Amino acid sequence: MKRLILFIVLVLIFTAGCQSQESSFTGHVDGENETTAASNSVTDSSVVTSPKTIPAETGADTVTDINTNKDTNTDTNTDTNTDLDAGQDIVNSLDDLYRSMHTLKIQKNGESTVYDAVRPLVSVFGDMLSKVETVYTDTPEGNEKIKDFDYGHYDYRLKFNGAKDILFTRKGNMLHFEGEKKVYYLWGSADSLWDSLIFNDSSNIVDIDGEIIQVMSNTYNQDVDGDGKAEDIELVYERGKTEDFKGKLIVRVNGSEAVVLESDDWYTKPYRTIGQMPEIKMLHEENGNSKALLVIYSWATNGIGSTGIVNAYKYVNGSISEVEVKDVEGIINYKGDDVVTIGFPTLNKNMDIKIETKEMIEFFGDEDSFKQEIEADQIWEPHKFWYFVEDHDGDGQEELCCESIILMYPFDLCRLYTCYKYEGGEIRPVQVRVNAIHSDG
Ligand SMILES: [Ca+2]
Ligand SMILES: [Ca+2]
């Protein structure tokens, strides 16, 4: 039931999101924009942008008007920008950009020409910006990323109508709204996207070459199959030149490829948000020379924070194929007096953990009902927060590790740490640790 409700909510958000894109990304309207701006000019400026997010009718009008007003489109943009400069709030964060994105112009550093982006390109760039990560300057990693960052330097200005210019620097694939402190970065290099742009100097239009657009990619060099020669490894986000937010996340080893995510699975804002950007990690084979190739990432998840995902692959005889990551299997028993035993039969391990049960017993009615509930099979589905690779046991070889939580709706029971090794063609859990909630360590 909970899942059904969640699904309906997601569908609603998704539908609203699609409508919003339809109205936003198909361009903007002279009449509609001026009217909206005029009628809202004395109210909070956030009202000006929000109506474009939801109503389907607005989207329909927008499309019709755009078709009849194509020629005057450029003038409109100038007018709107002048209006905005004259005192309206301008979009200065990516979240707000999603509610009001309309047209895009691109300017190269050191050039005076401002190019109008064709519509598919607006969508491509919107999609790219929906897959950025924020630089958190209060973390060591964020600090490291930003310490040499030059706010004044950029390679391209992305001029979305109604928004502050976004300054994009190819080195480090970093971007920020002009005059704003917040910096974002892409998980991969957008070089291929920039290199496929075609700037037409007679029409002042920028288009993109090809039907399949490589939006971002990361390359790695590692010997995956253990033959002593390094492979060319790529993690790539590819999409069609059509106006939607769907594409494929692909992993390639020497040209042999596997699809990690495709279509709706890789659909991001406003539908959902990536927590941890996808990256490739290697897991050495136990008693062997090969490696499993891991694609690790996480989604931001309402209510629980994060959902971690790992996809694993091997590369054998010039061909990539998927490797199963086996889940840890556990059995829970309630011993009484706030003590729960969690057993891991395949690992020959039993662990007792103290859990505050008073509230749970009250919730389920009495101790017997609680015992029945906690020992029911279906609660054994740990929710994974994130995956990472580290030498967990200090033996000099890294393991795949996962931090997760065991839930008994609506209660959290305990945290579970699992480490996995790659052996005999599969990745399986080899170590587990259970921690009480709120006691880290
Ligand atoms: Ca090799
Ligand atoms: Ca180890």
Measured between its terminal Cα atoms, the distance across the chain in Å is 35
Task: Indicate if the alpha-carbon torsion angle 101, 102, 108, 111 is positive or negative.
Answer: negative
pLDDT in tens, 416-430: 999 999 999 999 999
Domain termination site, one of 21, 47, 80: 80
Q: Are 23 and 100 in contact (CB under 8 A)?
A: no
Do the domain assignments include residue 251? yes
**Average pLDDT of span 170-196:** 95
Ligand lying nearest the CA atom of residue 286: 2
Number of domains in the chain: 4
Residue 435 has pLDDT above 80, yes or no: yes
Q: Are both 204 and 101 inside the same structural domain?
A: yes
CA of 181 to the centre of ligand 2 (A): 40
Residue 394 Cα to ligand 2 midpoint, Å, equals 5
Flag whether pLDDT at 394 surpasses 60: yes
- Measured CA to CA, the distance from residue 216 to residue 196 in angstroms comes to 12
CA of 187 to the centre of ligand 1 (A): 25
Q: Is 231 a residue whose pLDDT tops 70?
A: yes
Q: Which of left, alpha, beta for 386 (phi over 0: left; psi -120 to 50: alpha)?
A: beta
pLDDT at residue 302 in the model:
79
User: What is the predicted pLDDT for the residue at 100?
Assistant: 66
Query: Nearest bound ligand to CA 318?
Result: 1
Does residue 441 fall inside a structural domain? no
Its domain, for residue 243, covers 212-323
Residues 217 and 272 in one domain: yes
Average pLDDT over residues 237-264: 90
| Domain final position from 50, 80, 110 | 80
Instruction: Give residue 58's pLDDT.
Output: 27
| Mean residue pLDDT across the chain | 80
Q: How far is the CA of 323 from the centre of ligand 1 (A)?
A: 18
Q: Which is it for the CA torsion 132, 134, 139, 142, positive or negative?
A: positive
Q: Does residue 412 register a pLDDT over 50?
A: yes
Looking at the fold, whether 243 and 168 belong to one and the same domain comes out as no
Task: Give pLDDT, residue 14.
Answer: 37
pLDDT of residue 243: 66
Ligand nearest to the CA of 396: 2
CA of 193 to the centre of ligand 1 (A): 29
At residue 91 the predicted structure's pLDDT band, cuts being 50, 70 and 90, is confident
Question: What's the pTM?
Answer: 0.77
Diameter of the chain measured on Cα atoms? 80
List residues bridging with 247 in a β-sheet.
263
Residue 85 lies in a domain: no
Neighbours of 296 (CB within 10 A): 21
